Amino acid sequence: MSTENVVSIVIPPSELQQVLFKLQEISTILKPYLIALTPEERKTIPKMSDKTQPFVEKALDYALSNPEFTPAYMSVPELQIDMKAVQDFTAIMQLLQPICDNVSDTEMLSGSEAYLAALTYYNSVKHAAKSNVPSAKAIYEDLSKRFEAQKAKGKKQD
């Protein structure tokens, strides 16, 4: 990626507040219907993918039309509820995912540009400190704290 400044975005405060309010409103509306899984649960539960969904839908259709094969411990109405939830949350995700992806990309690029600009300033101050420019040393020492762990790590490897 080039070092040119691609991002120059200032969201007007009123629009930012409006977005944050509406997102909070959405969060509040959805909260009673959302479940948070632990990382372990996310790893271990069976997952329905695009290829699996038609199988589940077909099994539901068969369970409704041929209930004699449904085990007593299985609830077809609960399967219907779960499939409806899948459809509802899929519709929500189809709207949210592109927004989340674009927000994430924009945040990442903004952060990258800010970090590169800060590094440019840092290197300028570093050069000034080496040249004994007044007040540069204090700024350099303060900013260089960011890289102390990397320096210590590099010395351990030597």
Residues 79, 70: contact at Cβ < 8 Å?
A: no
User: What is the predicted pLDDT for the residue at 154?
Assistant: 66
User: What is the predicted pLDDT for the residue at 42?
Assistant: 96
User: What is the predicted pLDDT for the residue at 2?
Assistant: 54
User: What is the predicted pLDDT for the residue at 127?
Assistant: 97
On the CB side of 142, CA atoms within 13 Å amount to 7
Nearest CA to 9 out of 100, 110, 112, 103 is that of: 110
- Rounded to 10 degrees, the C-alpha dihedral 126/132/135/139 comes to 20
Nearest CA to 3 out of 147, 126, 119 is that of: 119
Per-residue confidence in pLDDT tens, the chain, 158 aa: 456 788 899 999 999 999 999 999 999 999 999 999 999 999 999 999 999 999 999 999 999 999 999 999 999 999 999 999 999 999 999 999 999 999 999 999 999 999 999 999 999 999 999 999 999 999 999 999 999 877 676 665 54
pTM, whole model, 2 decimals?
Answer: 0.78
What are phi and psi for residue 105, nearest 5 degrees?
-65, -45
User: What is the predicted pLDDT for the residue at 96?
Assistant: 97
